[in-house]
Structure 1
Amino acid sequence: MTKPTLFICQSCCFSEDHPEGQPADGAILLQQLQTYQSTHPELNNIQTQPVGCLWDCGRACVVAFSAPRKPTYLFSTISPESALVLLQFAQQYSHSKTGNIPYEKIPEGLKEVAIAKIPATTRNAL
């Protein structure tokens, strides 16, 4: 079975005044996710994949959860310190047969920042 993927924008910064030479907030978030996953093997049921941009600049950090035959969830305005709440959602998403997570089940730190749920594609789609 293919693991779901968590895409993480690496160019995201909360402030336009982000110090040059410092890692972007999205890169910090990715590092935190990887640290949690390395110390908590039970959280390794999702792949993390850095991407250059997820096109929601100005609403950093931006992430997307995606898997075959499941809807894609897009979240923005994620704090670089939100790794644990993202991994909580990842557990729900990966354990759900359909990938549909009812709003009331979404972890508190993500309810206010969800911006899109994109339906899964099917082979018969036109």
Structure 2
Amino acid sequence: MATWVTICETCKREDWDETSGQTDGDRLAALVENLPVPDGVRVRRHSCLMGCGKGCNVTVQAAGKLCYTLGNFVPDAESADAILTYAGLHAESETGQVPYRQWPQGVKGHFVTRHPPLPDDG
């Protein structure tokens, strides 16, 4: 199963420059999409993750694993790299839990929520 990184493409930070023609989420998504994606990771965009007070928001999810929402990213290369690095570690983890000592510096302080895996319907 793939780990999915979902990037809110409509996120606007408080200091968003509306004359730029791009939302902050769109800028972050473009930066992530232009980096090499780790094995087992896929990237997609979504319109509004409803975390407006913490833009830019992303989720890291996989079936049967702990899933996370992260926010308050600056749309820059460092954030994009940290998001994909963390997603790669999530993909490698059997449970989705990544030991704190392995977290890239760029995701520390950005975790908003953790979601348990959905129960098996069987």
Instruction: Give the one of 45, 48, 51 matched to 2:43.
Output: 48
**Aligned in 2, Cα 1:95/1:112: closer, same or farther, shift over 3 Å?**
same
Partners of 2:109 and 2:74 lie apart in 1 by 12
- Unpaired segments of 5 or more residues in structure 2? none
Partners of 2:16 and 2:7 lie apart in 1 by 21
- Unpaired segments of 5 or more residues in structure 1? none
**Aligned in 2, Cα 1:121/1:17: closer, same or farther, shift over 3 Å?**
closer
Number of paired residues?
Answer: 120
RMSD of Structure 2 on Structure 1 (CA): 1.9
Partners of 1:16 and 1:28 lie apart in 2 by 14
Larger mean Cα displacement after TM superposition, 93-102 or 16-25: 16-25
Deviations 1:17-47 (A, max 9, x none): 531461111111111111112xxxx625311
With normalisation by structure 1, the TM-score equals 0.85
Deviations 1:49-69 (A, max 9, x none): 111111110321000001000
Instruction: Give the one of 82, 97, 103 matched to 1:85.
Output: 82
Partners of 2:109 and 2:14 lie apart in 1 by 20
User: What amino acid sits opposite 1:110 in the alignment?
Assistant: V
With normalisation by structure 2, the TM-score equals 0.88
